[in-house]
Amino acid sequence: MLEHFRTPNGRGLLAASFMALYFELVFIRWWPAAFHVLAFFGNVVLISAVLGLGLGMARQTETPTEKLWFRSWLCVLLNSTLVLIFSWMELGVDYSNNSLALNTGLIKVHEFRANFYIVVGLHFGLTTLCFMPIGQLIGAYLARMPALAGYSIDILGSLLGIFCYTALTAMSLPPAVWISVGLAIVMLARPDLGTRGRVLAVIGASLVGAAIFANERLQIRQKHLEVVWSPYYQIKCWHNKNGCLVHVNRNFLLMGLDLRPGGPEDYEQYRRLYNFPHLLFKPKKVLVLGAGAGNDVASALRNGAESVTAVEIDPKVLNFGKLYNPEQPYQDPRVHIVNNDARSFLRNTKEKFDLVIYGILDSHSLFSSMSSIKLENYVYTVESFRDALHVLKPDGAVYITYSAWVPWLKWRLYSTLEAAAQTEPILLEGEFGNAAILGKLPAGAQLSPDIHSMLPEFRRAQNEDPTVNLVPTDDRPHFYLREHKIPAEYQRIIGIILVMGTLMISRSGGLKRKGFPLDFFLLGAGFLLLETTCIASFGLLLGATWLTNALVISSILAMIFIANLILLRNQNRVRLDLAFLGLGLSLVLLYMVDVKSLLVDNPVARLTLAGILMGLPMLAAAVIFGTKFARHPNPREALAANMLGAVVGGLLENFSVVVGFHNLYLIAILLYLGAWGVHKLKE
C-alpha cells in the first residue's frame, strides 16, 4: 500500500477521506447548537452525510478533481453558513410530547417559528447535497487505484479525521477552530496545490475561522454571557453575585444558586428543595449523581455532611460550578469530585453511602449520533437503581427529584423505582416539589402538614395507563418513550428520509437498477446496524461518555484497516464461504451472551472481553467486505451501494425501541444472511 500512498492519487484520497469524516463529525456536533431539536435526532445529520457521500461516489462523471475540491470546500462553507443563519434566527418548532417526551424548551416562544418536519426535511436535503461533492471526490480517486489499497487509504483518512476531531473536542475548542483547522489540513494535504496555493488555502481557512469567531463573539456581547464548548454541546452561562444560569444547545440545564440562610428571598423554594433530604436523613456520607453547578453538594455541606462525592459527566459544567456557585462547594476539602458517567461510577465504586441523591439529570443530548438514546438513559433503568441500592449503608436511602414535563413520565419513574427495589417507594409532594425515596424514613421523622404521599395517585395512574408500567431496562433504556413502538415523530422523519433519499438516488443516475450491487448494500446495512448496537453496548459497559463513543468508532475503523492490511499481505486469498461462516458464528455468540455478564470488576478485563466478543464479527465483516471489494469490477459503485446500505442500517437502529438492543443482533444476522445469499447467486 505504501507505493500507492506516495502517489498524488493516494495523498488526494487520504485528504478527501479525512475531510469526509472530520466534517461529518463537526456538523453532527455543531447543528444541534443552532437548531436544538436536532440534539434529539442526531442521526438525521449522520444519515444525510452518509447518503450524500454515497450519492457522490456513485456519480461517474469525468469532472476534474480541481473542480471537485473547489465544490467540496464551497459546500463546507455553505453548511457552515446555514448553521450560522439558524443560530441567529432562534428558530422554534411546534412539538407534542405525547409519545416522545423531550423537553418543554422545544415549544417555548422563539423569534421565528416553523413546521418541525419541513425544517428537518430541508436540513436533511441541504446536508446531503453538501456532502455529495466530497463523495464524488473520493470516488474519483478510488477509480484511479487498486480497490483494496484505495479502500485502505480511505479508512486511514477517516481514522485521522476522527483523531483530529477528538483532539479538538478534548480541548473544548469552538467551531471557528474546527472549521479553520479542518479546511487548512485538507487544503495543505492536497497533492495538486503548489506553495502559493497552500498559502492562499491557509489564509482562506483563517478568514473563515475569523468570521465564525466574530459571529459568536457578537452574539455573546449582545446577550452578556459566557459561551464554551464542552465535549457534549455548546454551553451558555449567565452569572452574577447570586449565582449562575446555564443553558446547553439553547435549552435550560441548571442554576447554581446562593441557598444559604439569609440569601435572596426569591430562592426560598429552591432552598427547601435542596435542604429537605438532609433535614430528613441527616447523612454523614453523601453521593450526588449529576452534581451540576453544586447546589446539592452545597446543601449537603451546609447540613453537616462529613464527606460528599460529586459525580458530573460534563467537565465544563463542573467548572462553572467551581467559578460561579456563591457557596463555593467544590473548593471544600470534604468534597471529592468525579468527572464521569453516573452509571459507570455506581457500578465501579467500592464505597458505601448514607444517602445517594439523584440530581435532575436531563442532558438534552444523545450519547452518540448513531444512537437514539440520550446520555442519561442508562441512569434511569431498573438495573441502575439496583446499582444505587447496592452502594448504600444498611440504613441508607436513595433520594430522587425529577422535573417531569408530562405526567406519565413521573409515573414511569416511580414504576421503575418500584421494580428495582421490589417494594413501594416513598412518594412525596410538598412545598419542596416532588420526591421519591428508596429506603425507610428515619424513626421519628416528622413531615410537615403540607407534605403528602403521592402513592394513591401513582396507583391510580398505573391502573388507568398501562404504559406507566413499561419500565426502562438496560436492553430497552428508552425512558422518554411512552410505548414500545417507534414514536410518530421518528416514523415521519424516517418517511421523509426514505422519500427524499429515493428521489435523490433515482435522479443521480450513478446507480442503475440492472446490476445493482445488492450484496454490498446489505453488507453496509448490516455493518452500521452492528456498529450502532455495539456502541450502545459499550456505553453500558464503559460509561456513556464522549470518550467511549470516540474510542469505539476509532477502534472499528482501525479494525477495518488491519483487516485490509491482512488481505493485502495475503494477496486477497480468502474463502468467502468460511468468512461468512465465521461472521455468522461470531454474531450468534454475541447474541447468546448477555452484555451484563461482561460487567466484571476489573475495567481492563471488562474492556478486553467486550473487545473480543464484539470485535470478532466486526473483523469478519471487514474481511468479507474487503475481499469482495477488491474483486468487484467497479469499486466506486460497490462503495456507494455500501454507504447507501449504511443509511438503511442507521434507520434500523430505531427498532431497538420495539425489540430491544440485544435483538438488533438478530436483524444484523438476517442482513448478512441476505448478503451471503446474493453472493452465492452471483457465483
Structurally, what CATH architecture does the domain formed by 2-172+481-682 represent?
Answer: Up-down Bundle (1.20)
Return the pLDDT at 104: 47
Of the candidates 574, 553, 569, 585, the residue with the CA atom closest to the CA atom of residue 629: 574
The grid cell for 199 is 498559502
What single-letter amino acid sits at 50? V
User: Taking 50 as the threshold, does the pLDDT of residue 109 lie above it?
Assistant: no
pLDDT band of residue 106 (cuts 50, 70, 90) is very low
Mean pLDDT for the chain overall: 84
Helix (H, G, I), strand (E, B), or coil: what is residue 27? helix
Sort 394 into a burial class: Cβ within 10 Å, 0-12 / 13-18 / 19+. exposed
Residues in a beta bridge with 239: 244
The pairing of beta strand 251-257 with beta strand 243-248 = antiparallel
User: Taking 90 as the threshold, does the pLDDT of residue 307 lie above it?
Assistant: yes
- Name, in order, each residue with C-beta under 8 angstroms of 156's C-beta and a sequence gap of 6 or more: 14, 17, 561
Which pLDDT tens digit goes with each residue over 481-502? 888 888 877 888 888 888 888 7
The Cα–Cα gap between 645 and 637 comes to: 12
The answer to whether residues 597 and 563 touch, using CB atoms and an 8 Å cutoff, is no
What's the mean pLDDT in 445-472? Answer: 87
CATH superfamily of 258-362+382-469: Vaccinia Virus protein VP39 (3.40.50.150)
User: Taking 60 as the threshold, does the pLDDT of residue 570 lie above it?
Assistant: yes
Return the pLDDT at 339: 92
User: Taking 80 as the threshold, does the pLDDT of residue 168 lie above it?
Assistant: yes
In 303-350, alpha helices (H): 315-324, 342-348
Sort 374 into a burial class: Cβ within 10 Å, 0-12 / 13-18 / 19+. buried
Percent of the chain residues past pLDDT 70, beyond the cut: 88
The answer to whether residues 483 and 658 touch, using CB atoms and an 8 Å cutoff, is no
What's the mean pLDDT in 199-228? Answer: 71
- Name, in order, each residue with C-beta under 8 angstroms of 10's C-beta and a sequence gap of 6 or more: 4, 141, 145, 149, 150, 153
Residue corresponding to grid cell 500500500? 1
Return the pLDDT at 512: 59
DSSP string of 339-389? -S-HHHHHHH----EEEEEE-----SSBS-TT-S-BTTGGGSSHHHHHHHH
DSSP string of 193-231? --HHHHHHHHHHHHHHHHHHHHHHHHHHHHHT-EEEE-S
Segments making up each domain of the chain, as ranges: 2-172+481-682, 258-362+382-469
pLDDT band of residue 513 (cuts 50, 70, 90) is low
Is the model more confident about 477 or about 594?
Answer: 477
User: Taking 50 as the threshold, does the pLDDT of residue 375 lie above it?
Assistant: yes
Of the candidates 231, 243, 425, the residue with the CA atom closest to the CA atom of residue 316: 231
Q: 407: how many CB neighbours lie within 10 A of its CB?
A: 12
Within 13 Å, how many C-alpha atoms sit on residue 680's CB side? Answer: 9
What's the mean pLDDT in 138-145? Answer: 87
Instruction: Beginning with the edge strand found earlier in the chain, give each strand of the sheet holding 426-430 in spatial order.
Output: 335-338, 307-311, 285-289, 353-358, 392-400, 433-438, 426-430, 452-453
